[in-house]
Amino acid sequence: MKSARFVIACLIVLSALAACKKKEGVTFYESSRKESAEPPVKEVPKDILATQQGFVTLVKNVTPSVVNISTIGKKKLVRPFFEASPFFEDFFGEKGEHPQYRREHSLGSGFIVNKDGFIVTNDHVVRDAETIQVKLSNESVYTGKVIGSDPKTDIAVIKINAKEPLPAAVFGDSNKLQVGQWAIAIGNPFGLDRTVTVGVISATGRSNMGIETYEDFIQTDASINPGNSGGPLLNIYGEVIGINTAIVATGQGIGFAIPVNMAKQVVAQLISKGNVSRGWLGVSIQTVTEDMARSFGLPKSHGALVNEVIAGGPAAKAGVLQGDVITGFDGNSVKDVRQLQRLVGETPVGKRAELEVYRGGKQLKLFVTTTPAEKAPAQAQNPTEREAGTLGLSVEELGAETRSRGISGVVVSDLEPGGIAEESGIQRGDIIVSVNQQKVRNLTEYQKAMKEAASRDAVALLVRRGSASIYFALKLR
């Protein structure tokens, strides 16, 4: 009986060993049941599947034209305050004898424009770079060279000499964008290679952001982070509609891209000649406030107020006068100063453009031919734009010496302390040369013009301060 039990035990052990040999390398137990699990959602709507497949196809087709850019630059260190002391120079040598520099590494993105190896990116990505490396989607790495850059729009073009054929991106039409349309960003955020994010067009025509000189940004909530700069913003057709360039650091889902239509002209000039030529109008302009609009009789506060016309410039030749409000340029309505600057800057040099101005309660049409901005005479910066207030100033006749220089008007001799005239920015010594666009040559004409202005809610004063002319709108009630 015992021998039988022993034989049975041996058989069990041998069977177990055989099973282990058959399952060699398996360290877990499997269920003998082979029932397949059902997905949580059995039927996905076809439109969702189509949308998902659309994004997958888009990324697959477009990603090869997107590149990663890494740069190494050299930045001069700012010496501490105590080192700027003359005593430091006495002990440690002359200033600038041994300047110190720090190596800076940065990452960015870009996209291939054509098969010749031209790549578009942001100017701030390659600015001051000593070496530029460009990595393609196939992991090939090339040395890049800056062909040209334009800091005013933050656009740069670099070039690589690739051995293989390069896939080029396709430009779309940013003028046709509508808020709510899909937007896809591809780039190199924080060094994470070819990251894809999806969102919508949050807004168009964003300006006065203080980011660049010429601004007309596309706003999007497609995630943009450091390293995305210079990469493409795409529509659902895979066309480039913008160049990702900036974010709001204190917020989420607020990114900005340069419209591709603005970039086209800049890129074309950078490739052809390495720099950008812009049109110049020859005027000094300022924003039209609501008070100014009322004083000028404008139905609303829009356009750009001409506070000075440069003698011999295109605007002067076209008949533009001081006090005109430019409301249209080359078929485009002018909303504010920034928009006019951008429209003129984008206009090809030598083009004859229609100029709409508001003068004396009437809309006029003039024709101006732009000249290169780089040939414009050196001018002072546009005067600071200030909010207007109520009157609270005293004036007197100009001195003989001032009149001998051909200057007419009245000089501000005193300001009411804490008055809104003072708060609006008017200063003692300012020369008032016109009231509501009526020139005043002396105290009598000034008083007459102010009496006529009493029936209005606001008065517009043209002030001469040094060599600059500034408009102020002051409320009378």
| Residue 382 banded pLDDT, cuts 50, 70, 90 | very low
Residue 381 has pLDDT above 50, yes or no: no
Q: Are 264 and 210 spatial neighbours (Cβ–Cβ below 8 Å)?
A: no
Please answer whether residues 255 and 222 qualify as being in contact, where contact means their C-beta atoms are separated by less than 8 angstroms.
Answer: yes
What would the pLDDT profile of 27-54 be if each residue is shown by its tens digit?
454 545 555 677 788 888 999 999 999 9
Minimum mean pLDDT among 81-85, 118-122, 182-186, 265-269: which range? 81-85
Q: Higher model confidence: residue 40 or residue 26? A: 40
Looking at every residue in the chain, the average pLDDT score rounds to: 80
**What's the pLDDT at 207?**
79
Instruction: Answer yes or no: is pLDDT of 400 > 70.
Output: yes
Q: Is the pLDDT of residue 163 over 70?
A: yes
What's the average model confidence in pLDDT over 440-451? 83
CA 186, 189, 191, 195 torsion-angle sign: negative
Q: CA 274 to CA 253: how far, in whole Å?
A: 34
Average pLDDT over residues 112-131: 91
Answer whether 212's CB lies under 8 Å from 206's CB.
no
Q: What is the 3-state secondary structure (H, E, C) of 310-367?
A: CCCCHHHHHCCCCCCEEEEECCEECCCHHHHHHHHHHCCCCCEEEEEEEECCEEEEEE
pLDDT band for 466, please (50, 70, 90 cuts): confident
* Mean local confidence (pLDDT), 209-237: 87
Catalytic positions, please? Answer: 124, 154, 229
Average pLDDT over residues 349-353: 88
Is residue 24 pLDDT above 60, yes or no? no
Tell me how far the alpha carbon of residue 250 is from its chain's centroid: 17
pTM: 0.65
Sequence-distant (6+) residues with CB within 8 A of 301 are 288, 289, 290, 292, 293
Task: Give the span between the Cα atoms of 220 and 449, in whole angstroms.
Answer: 50
Tell me: the pLDDT tens digits for 124-144?
Answer: 899 888 899 999 988 899 999
Q: Give the pLDDT band (50/70/90) at residue 467.
A: confident
**Dihedral (CA of 134, 247, 150, 172) sign:** positive
Mean pLDDT of the region 67-74: 87
Lowest mean pLDDT, pick from 181-185, 248-252, 268-272: 248-252
Compare 29 and 101 and report the one with higher pLDDT: 101
Q: Which has the higher per-residue pLDDT, 123 or 405?
A: 123
- pLDDT tens, residue by residue, 409-422: 898 877 777 676 77
367: its two tokens: 């024709």
Nearest CA to 222 out of 196, 191, 241 is that of 196
CB atoms < 10 A from the CB of 293, how many?
21
The string of DSSP codes covering 175-239 is: GG--TT-EEEEEE-GGG-TTEEEEEEEEEEEE---SS-SS--EEEE-S---TT-TT-EEE-TTS-
pLDDT in tens, 285-342: 887 888 888 888 888 888 888 888 888 889 999 999 988 999 999 988 898 888 888 8
- For CA atoms 187, 189, 190, 193, the dihedral sign is negative
**CB neighbours of residue 129 within 10 Å:** 21
Q: Which domains does the chain have, with CATH numbers?
A: 65-159 (2.40.10.10), 174-273 (2.40.10.10), 279-375 (2.30.42.10), 393-475 (2.30.42.10)
